[in-house]
Structure 1
Amino acid sequence: MKTVFRKSFERDLKKIKDRWVLEQVKRAIEEAEGATSLKGVSGVKRLSDAGSFYRIRIGEYRIGIAVERSEVEFVRCLHRREIYRYFP
């Protein structure tokens, strides 16, 4: 799948200090790029009543993604307490 990154996602990654989380985010991005559909990406869950918005769980962090046909847009990467305030 084609991947696109929003500025907000890039800013969120700069704020994360935990190397394990950053490595897992990198793995999730690579997994999304190599997958032909969302079923090929582990930890993906559709957000209820949110249309084409999904989240990927990485420990205490969540990655918010938007899916349009064969394109995955990485929108936010925040702690689980904060993600649902800013996404979707």
Structure 2
Amino acid sequence: MAWEVVYRPQFIRDLARMPESPRKEVEQFAFDVFPAADNPFAVPGLEKMSGFKDYYKARFGVFRVGIRVVRKNRVVEFQRVLNRRDIYRHFPSAG
């Protein structure tokens, strides 16, 4: 069974607000590299967040992509992409 990749509306809004250069890198990662991967844990640049079971991050310059991986349902959910000074205030969140 393949992994389902989901993009939260807030992730899309955050992406639209980013400067062009890092946005292109994040778009390639989120829309090309990640969906093509058979194993999301083998994707280069994905790091587990300490203290959180299902939450991961990826770095792109000063920006961080917040990702939730639900192993039971085989779902990868892109939740936020923000500057590193802001991401940890909003991700992970309860919703």
Asked whether the two chains share a fold, i.e. TM above 0.5, the reply is yes
Whether 2:50 is the aligned partner of 1:9: answer no
When normalised by structure 1's length, the TM-score is 0.91
Paired letter, 2:81? C
Structure 1 moving runs of 4+ over 4 Å: none
1:87 corresponds in structure 2 to: 91
1:82 aligned counterpart, secondary structure: helix
Structure 1 residue runs without a partner (length 5+): none
- Which of the residues 70, 75, 79 maps onto 1:71? 75
Higher Cα Rg, which structure:
2
% identical equivalent positions: 36
- RMSD value over aligned CA atoms? 1.1
Paired letter, 2:48? R
Structure 2 residue runs without a partner (length 5+): none
Paired letter, 2:9? K
When normalised by structure 2's length, the TM-score is 0.84
